[in-house]
Structure 1
Amino acid sequence: MSEQGNPGRRAPGELEGEVLAALWAIGKPVGVGTVREHVAGDPAYTTVLTILSRLHDKGLVTRERAGRGYLYAPVRDEAGHAAAGMRNLLEHGKDRAAVLARFVAELPAEDEKLLEQLLRGHAED
Protein backbone atom coordinates (compact mmCIF):
# COMPACT_ATOMS: atom_id res chain seq x y z
CA MET A 1 0.00 0.00 0.00
CA SER A 2 1.38 3.47 -0.81
CA GLU A 3 2.14 6.00 1.88
CA GLN A 4 -0.65 8.23 0.60
CA GLY A 5 -3.04 5.32 1.06
CA ASN A 6 -1.98 4.86 4.68
CA PRO A 7 -2.30 8.14 6.57
CA GLY A 8 -0.81 6.60 9.75
CA ARG A 9 2.44 5.72 7.98
CA ARG A 10 5.39 8.10 8.27
CA ALA A 11 7.42 9.29 5.30
CA PRO A 12 10.91 7.80 4.97
CA GLY A 13 13.28 9.47 7.43
CA GLU A 14 10.45 11.11 9.37
CA LEU A 15 10.78 8.79 12.37
CA GLU A 16 14.55 9.39 12.44
CA GLY A 17 13.82 13.11 12.64
CA GLU A 18 11.28 12.58 15.41
CA VAL A 19 13.72 10.46 17.40
CA LEU A 20 16.45 13.10 17.05
CA ALA A 21 13.95 15.80 18.06
CA ALA A 22 13.06 13.75 21.15
CA LEU A 23 16.73 13.44 22.09
CA TRP A 24 17.26 17.20 21.66
CA ALA A 25 14.19 17.93 23.79
CA ILE A 26 15.26 15.55 26.56
CA GLY A 27 18.74 17.06 26.69
CA LYS A 28 20.64 14.19 28.31
CA PRO A 29 21.60 10.59 27.46
CA VAL A 30 18.55 8.31 27.77
CA GLY A 31 17.42 4.78 27.05
CA VAL A 32 15.12 3.55 24.31
CA GLY A 33 12.04 3.57 26.53
CA THR A 34 12.43 7.25 27.38
CA VAL A 35 12.92 8.16 23.73
CA ARG A 36 9.84 6.10 22.83
CA GLU A 37 7.74 8.06 25.35
CA HIS A 38 8.69 11.32 23.58
CA VAL A 39 7.82 10.15 20.04
CA ALA A 40 4.28 10.62 18.76
CA GLY A 41 2.17 7.73 17.54
CA ASP A 42 3.22 5.09 20.10
CA PRO A 43 5.90 3.35 17.98
CA ALA A 44 7.01 -0.11 19.05
CA TYR A 45 10.03 -0.34 21.35
CA THR A 46 11.87 -2.39 18.72
CA THR A 47 11.13 0.25 16.06
CA VAL A 48 12.68 3.00 18.20
CA LEU A 49 15.64 0.73 18.99
CA THR A 50 16.17 0.11 15.26
CA ILE A 51 16.02 3.85 14.50
CA LEU A 52 18.51 4.63 17.29
CA SER A 53 20.83 1.91 15.97
CA ARG A 54 20.64 3.40 12.46
CA LEU A 55 21.31 6.90 13.81
CA HIS A 56 24.31 5.51 15.70
CA ASP A 57 25.61 3.80 12.55
CA LYS A 58 25.26 7.14 10.68
CA GLY A 59 27.26 8.89 13.42
CA LEU A 60 24.33 11.08 14.49
CA VAL A 61 23.99 9.72 18.03
CA THR A 62 26.36 8.31 20.61
CA ARG A 63 25.59 5.40 22.84
CA GLU A 64 27.09 4.28 26.08
CA ARG A 65 26.52 0.99 27.83
CA ALA A 66 24.11 1.18 30.77
CA GLY A 67 23.33 -2.19 32.29
CA ARG A 68 21.96 -4.47 29.56
CA GLY A 69 21.11 -1.59 27.23
CA TYR A 70 22.46 1.74 26.06
CA LEU A 71 21.93 5.41 26.73
CA TYR A 72 21.68 7.51 23.58
CA ALA A 73 22.49 11.17 22.99
CA PRO A 74 22.71 13.29 19.84
CA VAL A 75 26.21 14.09 18.55
CA ARG A 76 25.19 17.66 17.66
CA ASP A 77 22.54 20.04 18.88
CA GLU A 78 19.65 20.83 16.54
CA ALA A 79 21.34 23.90 15.03
CA GLY A 80 24.55 21.94 14.43
CA HIS A 81 22.62 19.13 12.77
CA ALA A 82 20.82 21.55 10.44
CA ALA A 83 24.09 23.33 9.62
CA ALA A 84 25.79 20.02 8.80
CA GLY A 85 22.93 19.13 6.44
CA MET A 86 23.16 22.51 4.72
CA ARG A 87 26.95 22.14 4.38
CA ASN A 88 26.51 18.66 2.91
CA LEU A 89 24.06 19.95 0.30
CA LEU A 90 26.42 22.80 -0.57
CA GLU A 91 29.39 20.48 -0.95
CA HIS A 92 27.50 18.22 -3.35
CA GLY A 93 26.25 21.01 -5.60
CA LYS A 94 28.05 21.44 -8.91
CA ASP A 95 28.30 25.25 -8.57
CA ARG A 96 28.84 26.46 -4.99
CA ALA A 97 28.51 30.13 -5.95
CA ALA A 98 25.17 29.52 -7.68
CA VAL A 99 23.83 27.49 -4.75
CA LEU A 100 24.86 30.15 -2.21
CA ALA A 101 23.51 32.97 -4.40
CA ARG A 102 20.15 31.22 -4.78
CA PHE A 103 20.00 30.46 -1.07
CA VAL A 104 20.64 34.09 -0.11
CA ALA A 105 18.29 35.43 -2.79
CA GLU A 106 15.44 33.33 -1.39
CA LEU A 107 15.96 34.34 2.25
CA PRO A 108 13.34 36.53 3.90
CA ALA A 109 14.67 40.06 4.52
CA GLU A 110 15.07 39.51 8.27
CA ASP A 111 17.12 36.34 7.71
CA GLU A 112 19.26 38.12 5.14
CA LYS A 113 20.00 40.87 7.70
CA LEU A 114 20.83 38.26 10.32
CA LEU A 115 23.19 36.50 7.91
CA GLU A 116 24.89 39.83 7.15
CA GLN A 117 25.35 40.50 10.87
CA LEU A 118 26.78 37.03 11.43
CA LEU A 119 29.22 37.39 8.53
CA ARG A 120 30.35 40.80 9.78
CA GLY A 121 30.84 39.38 13.25
CA HIS A 122 33.07 36.60 11.90
CA ALA A 123 35.00 39.06 9.73
CA GLU A 124 35.85 41.13 12.84
CA ASP A 125 37.20 38.12 14.81
Structure 2
Amino acid sequence: MAKTPAPPKPTAAELDLLRTLWPLGPSTVKQVHEVLLKERPETTYATVLRLMQVMHGKGLLVRDESQRSHVYAPAQAQDSLRTSLLKDLIQKAFAGSGKDLVMAALRGGHVTRKEREEIQKLLNGDKP
Protein backbone atom coordinates (compact mmCIF):
# COMPACT_ATOMS: atom_id res chain seq x y z
CA MET A 1 0.00 0.00 0.00
CA ALA A 2 1.38 3.42 -0.99
CA LYS A 3 2.05 5.83 1.85
CA THR A 4 0.18 9.15 1.56
CA PRO A 5 2.62 12.03 1.22
CA ALA A 6 2.92 14.21 4.31
CA PRO A 7 1.26 17.60 3.98
CA PRO A 8 3.68 20.43 3.18
CA LYS A 9 5.25 22.22 6.14
CA PRO A 10 4.52 25.95 6.16
CA THR A 11 7.26 28.52 6.66
CA ALA A 12 6.90 31.00 9.54
CA ALA A 13 5.33 33.60 7.21
CA GLU A 14 2.94 31.00 5.77
CA LEU A 15 1.93 29.88 9.26
CA ASP A 16 1.21 33.52 10.20
CA LEU A 17 -1.03 33.84 7.17
CA LEU A 18 -2.81 30.58 8.02
CA ARG A 19 -3.41 31.86 11.58
CA THR A 20 -5.14 34.85 10.00
CA LEU A 21 -7.12 32.78 7.50
CA TRP A 22 -8.43 30.05 9.83
CA PRO A 23 -10.72 32.34 11.86
CA LEU A 24 -11.68 34.34 8.74
CA GLY A 25 -12.74 31.35 6.70
CA PRO A 26 -12.59 31.37 2.89
CA SER A 27 -11.40 34.86 1.90
CA THR A 28 -10.08 36.97 -0.94
CA VAL A 29 -6.54 38.35 -0.94
CA LYS A 30 -8.03 41.79 -0.24
CA GLN A 31 -9.83 40.53 2.89
CA VAL A 32 -6.69 38.85 4.22
CA HIS A 33 -4.59 41.93 3.43
CA GLU A 34 -7.01 44.19 5.37
CA VAL A 35 -6.70 42.01 8.48
CA LEU A 36 -2.91 41.77 8.21
CA LEU A 37 -2.62 45.56 7.87
CA LYS A 38 -3.98 45.95 11.41
CA GLU A 39 -1.06 43.95 12.81
CA ARG A 40 1.62 45.01 10.31
CA PRO A 41 0.85 48.28 8.52
CA GLU A 42 3.85 47.84 6.20
CA THR A 43 2.32 44.71 4.59
CA THR A 44 1.61 45.28 0.91
CA TYR A 45 -1.21 43.75 -1.10
CA ALA A 46 1.34 42.41 -3.61
CA THR A 47 3.22 40.57 -0.83
CA VAL A 48 0.03 38.94 0.45
CA LEU A 49 -1.02 37.99 -3.10
CA ARG A 50 2.37 36.47 -3.87
CA LEU A 51 2.47 34.55 -0.58
CA MET A 52 -1.03 33.17 -1.08
CA GLN A 53 -0.22 32.12 -4.66
CA VAL A 54 2.92 30.32 -3.46
CA MET A 55 0.92 28.65 -0.67
CA HIS A 56 -1.67 27.52 -3.21
CA GLY A 57 1.09 26.06 -5.36
CA LYS A 58 2.51 24.16 -2.37
CA GLY A 59 -0.92 22.78 -1.47
CA LEU A 60 -1.32 24.80 1.74
CA LEU A 61 -4.30 26.71 0.34
CA VAL A 62 -7.15 25.76 -1.95
CA ARG A 63 -8.53 28.35 -4.37
CA ASP A 64 -12.05 28.84 -5.69
CA GLU A 65 -11.75 30.48 -9.10
CA SER A 66 -15.47 30.52 -9.87
CA GLN A 67 -15.80 34.25 -9.10
CA ARG A 68 -13.89 37.26 -10.35
CA SER A 69 -11.95 37.57 -7.09
CA HIS A 70 -10.40 34.23 -6.21
CA VAL A 71 -11.33 32.92 -2.78
CA TYR A 72 -8.66 31.08 -0.80
CA ALA A 73 -9.07 28.70 2.12
CA PRO A 74 -6.63 26.59 4.14
CA ALA A 75 -6.19 23.12 2.66
CA GLN A 76 -5.88 21.68 6.17
CA ALA A 77 -7.82 22.33 9.37
CA GLN A 78 -5.89 24.12 12.11
CA ASP A 79 -5.93 21.12 14.50
CA SER A 80 -4.78 18.77 11.75
CA LEU A 81 -1.82 20.97 10.81
CA ARG A 82 -0.87 21.52 14.45
CA THR A 83 -0.90 17.77 15.07
CA SER A 84 1.27 17.16 12.02
CA LEU A 85 3.79 19.87 13.01
CA LEU A 86 3.85 18.64 16.61
CA LYS A 87 4.54 15.03 15.55
CA ASP A 88 7.37 16.29 13.37
CA LEU A 89 8.84 18.38 16.20
CA ILE A 90 8.61 15.50 18.70
CA GLN A 91 10.37 13.17 16.27
CA LYS A 92 13.09 15.62 15.26
CA ALA A 93 13.84 17.47 18.49
CA PHE A 94 12.81 15.00 21.21
CA ALA A 95 13.61 11.59 19.67
CA GLY A 96 9.92 10.71 19.63
CA SER A 97 9.31 11.44 23.33
CA GLY A 98 6.20 13.49 24.05
CA LYS A 99 7.18 13.51 27.73
CA ASP A 100 10.50 15.20 26.89
CA LEU A 101 8.63 17.86 24.89
CA VAL A 102 6.28 18.57 27.80
CA MET A 103 9.12 18.65 30.31
CA ALA A 104 11.10 21.07 28.13
CA ALA A 105 8.07 23.35 27.86
CA LEU A 106 7.48 23.27 31.62
CA ARG A 107 11.15 23.84 32.50
CA GLY A 108 11.77 26.48 29.85
CA GLY A 109 9.34 29.02 31.23
CA HIS A 110 6.97 28.64 28.27
CA VAL A 111 3.98 27.82 30.48
CA THR A 112 2.23 30.42 32.63
CA ARG A 113 0.90 29.71 36.13
CA LYS A 114 -2.66 29.71 34.76
CA GLU A 115 -1.66 27.25 32.01
CA ARG A 116 0.02 25.01 34.63
CA GLU A 117 -3.23 24.99 36.62
CA GLU A 118 -5.18 24.03 33.49
CA ILE A 119 -2.68 21.27 32.70
CA GLN A 120 -2.93 19.96 36.27
CA LYS A 121 -6.74 19.88 36.03
CA LEU A 122 -6.45 17.94 32.78
CA LEU A 123 -4.03 15.46 34.39
CA ASN A 124 -6.42 15.07 37.34
CA GLY A 125 -9.21 14.21 34.91
CA ASP A 126 -11.04 17.50 35.44
CA LYS A 127 -12.19 19.74 32.65
CA PRO A 128 -9.88 22.76 32.24
8 Å CA contact 1:22–1:35 kept in 2: the answer is yes
Structure 1 unmatched runs, 5+: 1-12, 119-125
Hey, which bits of structure 1, 4+ residues long, moved more than 6 A? Answer: none
State the Cα RMSD in Å.
2.8
Deviation by residue 1:13-54 (Cα, 9 ceiling, x = unmatched) = 443233212211212x11111111110324222211111122
Closer/same/farther in 2, CA of residues 110 and 54 from structure 1, 3 Å limit: farther
8 Å CA contact 1:36–1:42 kept in 2: the answer is no
Structure 2 unmatched runs, 5+: 1-10
Partners in 1 of 2:88 and 2:82 — Cα distance? 10
Show the counterpart of 1:34.
31
- Report deviation, 1:86: 0.7
Closer/same/farther in 2, CA of residues 103 and 92 from structure 1, 3 Å limit: closer
Show the counterpart of 2:70.
70
TM-score, length of structure 2 as denominator length = 0.61
Aligned residues: 103
Alignment of 1:104 onto 2:102: yes
Comparing 16-25 with 104-113, which one deviates more in the overlay? Answer: 104-113
For 1:34, give the aligned amino acid. Q
Counting aligned pairs with the same residue, the percent is 26
8 Å CA contact 1:32–1:49 kept in 2: the answer is yes
